[in-house]
Structure 1
Amino acid sequence: MQRRAALLVALGGFAGALSRHAVTIALPEPFPWGTLAVNVVGAFALGLFVYGTRERWRASDATRLVVSTGFMSSFTTYSTFASETAVLEPTLAAANVVGNYALGFSAVLLAREVVRWRS
């Protein structure tokens, strides 16, 4: 079971990392729009998955491993967010921190409401 779980996480992680990279290179610099986008979209998607599987539908353990632990944890990124923030000038760094946390948390709450509204 451990090898199977590791493979499922790896498959989801591979897809999540490639997806994050595609979004990051598609959005302009010097502000880290790509990382902000994947973190907010990822927070919303994970919120839909977590609340949806808790309140509306079932997901197998394998699906949870691929989606939550694999894909979503590789699609969203705290380490890139932290390193990109560290090199921004102070005003942009503060905006990036506030934006990632406020929008990410709001996205999770919105996802919860979407799941409840659709119930």
Structure 2
Amino acid sequence: MSSKQLKQRLETLLFADIASFWLDLYRQKYRELVDELSQWELIQNQPDDDDEDDWLLLQAIAFLTHKIDTLQNQLLKLDTDHRRFVERLSHAELKAEREFHILDYAYILGADRIQLKKESRGFSALV
């Protein structure tokens, strides 16, 4: 089955009973979900003796479970990082120490070196 056919099949199976209002409202999210699911490695290897609809639905459930677990772990990490940041910031006594913790947390959240330099200059401009 081609990637396009797989995506169409998944859309048909997953969104058949959803009212058009909700489909229109969340169309982009649904497409992203189908794109991710269609590229999931496990969905590419359908056994010959399984019913296609049943197999695709089972794989969709497994994928969604995996995605939820992954997102939950990411949220837990973000929460832990935030708690550490707040703790470190609350114990910082010097302005330079607070700025260091803020920049370190920005780095943890994904700021690159250019953004960090701009933030650092922003601290200097506040003086």
TM-score after normalising by structure 1: 0.35
Task: Say which structure, 1 or 2, has more relative contact order (CA 8 Å, 6+ apart).
Answer: 1
Instruction: Give the structure with higher Rg (CA).
Output: 2
